[in-house]
Amino acid sequence: MSELAWWQRGVIYQIYPRSFQDSNGDGIGDLPGIRTRLEYLAALGVDAVWISPIYPSPMADFGYDVADYCNVDPMFGTLDEFKQLMGRAHQLGLNVLLDFVPNHSSDRHPWFEESRSSRDNPRRDWYLWRDPASDGGPPNNWLSRMGGSAWEWDERTGQYYYHAFLREQPDLNWRNPQVRRAMDDVLRFWLDLGVDGFRVDVLWLLIKDALFRDNPPNPAYRPGEPEHHRLLQRYTEDQPEVHDIVRSMRATLREYGERVLIGEIYLPVAQLVKYYGAGGDGADMPFNFQLLNARWNAREIASMIQAYDSALPEHAWPNWVLGNHDNPRVASRVGIAQARVAAVLLLTLRGTPTLYYGDEIGMTDGAIALDEIQDPAELRQPGIGQGRDPERTPMQWDGSLPHAGFTRGRPWLPVDTTTSVRDQDNDVSSVLSLYKSLLVLRRSHAALVQGTIENIVAHGDVLTYERRYRNQRLFIALNMGDEGVDVQTQSGAVLLSTMTSRRGQAVVQGAIHLAAEEAVIVARGNE
Ligand code: GLC
């Protein structure tokens, strides 16, 4: 498999650092904590960790409001502790990806403090400042993704500044070449330290309309949806000039060899794949989030896989995401039995999978009482289901310890102790054992990593497809329904099933009876 880059062969694991492992008893995860869990990740069988922001931050949006791009927040540790973590990860064969947050800084970043200090400050144009409209109100109708106007009035200098998210997260002006150079220096700072790549936050939002035109109303808006859905984001997202920025980020990474550029992009597939760049010179992997809100049935998923596969430009490498820190967990979306089926899907589709911490033990969304809410998105627009605390609850390491071993202090969000890594570790029927088996199979079967994907078909509730590489042919069947069903296959060995009861009857002849909610991988041909 040597002609592929490591990030094409590998599996990425997302860590939300507040919630992975606390080492100092303050109830919030940190870098030394993560370091002590690297052996676990190596044994799980993933290849890289992406760590959500660890930079100095007032934590208005839990680190997505960066006050210094080239350091570590004391809450998480020190730059030296980051280097130690990365050194140990590399020894264990794990690559380390950071979260790069270029769209906006914190309002406490020195750049913004200078920018807002006066209209003629040299950094004034590093952010998006506009005069009021003729009625004295905001310059246009743009809305914040966290609710309310996206424009914040600044009394001292008599102008508004734009913030796509919280008012504590002013958007940088990416049309300004100085901003681009400063951000390029940030990438180089971390690349020089040996970081293996970046997940770029809200990549599709970096550039806004040069004329600041009003966004048109969204005719499909329904009351109860987040407020910014009232408008189509015509002038605030996916502007043509963004691709030039992606290209230059990618060019910088290429100077450092095999480093990966991943983009967070929530767009329909036709627009998403443009982020690969016209000549394959854009992002290595624009995140493919389709599974996050897919309707969970075989027909839907089959056509999604086909549509994605045929939309991909030549040479573009696919990828799939099942969960992240902004969306309900898969086990809560589809139920725990189907979360096992989803694991087989994620790890047998063509392309790089990204796992979200805790999904490998089937963690579900936490129940958050009203007085425990932490997420600013929920606090600003209560009750519309935008709260992200449920999917951010701490990792469950050991159910026999207080707070499941996450912290010896008071955890920042409640910890569910009903299941844990320790409970599942020696249980062959656990979700964790399933993930480990799948990750072992990926390493040992080139068809799963670099094979084609073919014959994607839905038969009722069953989705089947094949992965082929040279003479290796794997047949995957996923029962997304709650009844047993017969499925045609060729004769061969069952390499894996989500049902432990199938162990011991490993060969099938021409057909297989799938139990309700069972998924299998069958080897065919010269396996
Ligand atoms: C991204 C992050 C999200 C954050 C937002 C603003 O969508 O994933 O957590 O709130 O950007 O930075």
Choosing from 64, 200, 266, 287 the residue with most ligand 1 atoms within 8 A of its CB, the one to mutate for a pocket test is: 64
Residue nearest (by alpha carbon) to ligand 1 atom 7: 202
pLDDT of residue 220: 96
Mutate to test the pocket of ligand 1, among 104, 109, 146, 202 (most ligand atoms within 8 A of CB): 202
CA 86 to chain centre: 20
The reply to whether ligand 1 has any atom less than 6 angstroms from the CB of 206 is: no
Burial classification of residue 122, based on how many CB atoms lie within 10 Å of its CB (0-12 exposed, 13-18 middle, 19 or more buried): exposed
pLDDT, tens only, 301-353: 999 999 999 999 998 999 999 999 999 999 999 999 999 999 999 999 999 99
**Helix H or strand E segment including 347:** helix 336-348
Q: Which residues pair with 160 in a beta bridge?
A: 130, 153
Residue ID of nearest Cα to ligand 1 atom 12: 64
Residue 423, helix vs strand vs coil: helix
Q: Is 425 a catalytic residue?
A: no
Give residue 364 CA to ligand 1 midpoint distance, Å: 21
Indicate whether residue 285 lines ligand 1 (CB < 6 A).
Answer: no
The per-residue pLDDT for 2 is: 56
Residue 258 CB neighbour total at 10 angstroms: 14
Q: For ligand 1, atom 3, name the residue with the nearest CA.
A: 326
Residue 14 tokens, joined: 């997302």
Amino acid 484: pLDDT: 97
Q: Which residue owns the Cα nearest ligand 1 atom 9?
A: 326
Residue 99 Cβ contacting ligand 1 at under 6 Å: no
Identify the residue whose C-alpha is closest to ligand 1 atom 6: 64
Query: Model-level pTM greater than 0.95?
Result: yes
Radius of gyration of the chain (CA): 24
pLDDT above 90: residue 136: yes
- Respond yes or no: is residue 201 known to be catalytic: yes
Strands 159-162 and 319-321: what pairing?
unpaired
pLDDT at 1 over 60: no
d(CA 82, CA 489): 49
Pick the CATH number of 6-103+177-436 from 3.90.79.10, 3.40.50.720, 3.20.20.80, 2.60.40.420: 3.20.20.80
Overall average pLDDT of the 201-219 stretch = 98
* Closest approach atom of ligand 1 to CA 377: 10
Q: Which atom of ligand 1 is nearest to the CA of 164?
A: 6
Q: Tell me which residue of 230, 205, 213 sits closest to 143, measured CA to CA.
A: 230
At 243 the pLDDT is: 98
- 137-164 tens-digit pLDDT: 999 999 999 999 999 999 999 999 999 9
Mutate to test the pocket of ligand 1, among 59, 106, 165 (most ligand atoms within 8 A of CB): 165
Give residue-wise pLDDT tens across range 452-471: 999 999 999 999 999 999 99
**Mean pLDDT within 490-508:** 85
Q: Helix 242-254 vs helix 177-193: angle between axes, to the nearest 10 degrees? A: 30
- For ligand 1, atom 5, the nearest C-alpha belongs to 64
Burial of 498 (0-12, 13-18, 19+ CB in 10 A): buried
The pLDDT score that the predictor gives to residue 504 is 60
Of 75-79, 218-222, 385-389, the one with minimum mean pLDDT is: 385-389
Task: Name the catalytic one among 73, 99, 201, 466.
Answer: 201
Identity at 237, one-letter amino acid code: E
Q: Is the CB of 391 under 6 A from ligand 1?
A: no
Q: Is the CB of 55 under 6 A from ligand 1?
A: no
CA distance 246 to 258: 17
Convert the pLDDT of each residue in 45-103 to its tens digit.
999 999 999 999 999 999 999 999 999 999 999 999 999 999 999 999 999 999 999 99
Q: What is the pLDDT of residues 101-132, one digit of tens each?
A: 999 999 999 999 999 999 999 999 999 999 99
Per domain, the residue ranges of the chain are 6-103+177-436, 110-162, 452-524
Indicate if ligand 1 lies below 6 Å from the C-beta of 202: yes
Rounded average pLDDT over 154-182:
98
- pLDDT, residue 385, reads 74
Sequence letter at residue 449: V
Fold of 452-524: Immunoglobulin-like (2.60.40)
CATH of 110-162, one of 3.40.50.10420, 3.90.400.10, 3.40.50.720, 3.40.50.9100: 3.90.400.10
Taking alpha carbons only, the member of 342, 338, 335, 397 closest to residue 364 is 335
Q: Is 326 in the pocket of ligand 1 (CB under 6 A)?
A: yes
For ligand 1, atom 4, the nearest C-alpha belongs to 64
pLDDT of residue 525: 57
Please determine, for residue 505, whether its predicted confidence score (pLDDT) is greater than 70: no
Instruction: Name the least confident of 1-5, 165-169, 467-471, 497-501.
Output: 1-5
Pick from 265, 446, 448: which is nearest to 345 by CA?
448
In the prediction, which pLDDT does 279 show? 84
From CA 495, how far away is CA 471, in angstroms rounded? 16
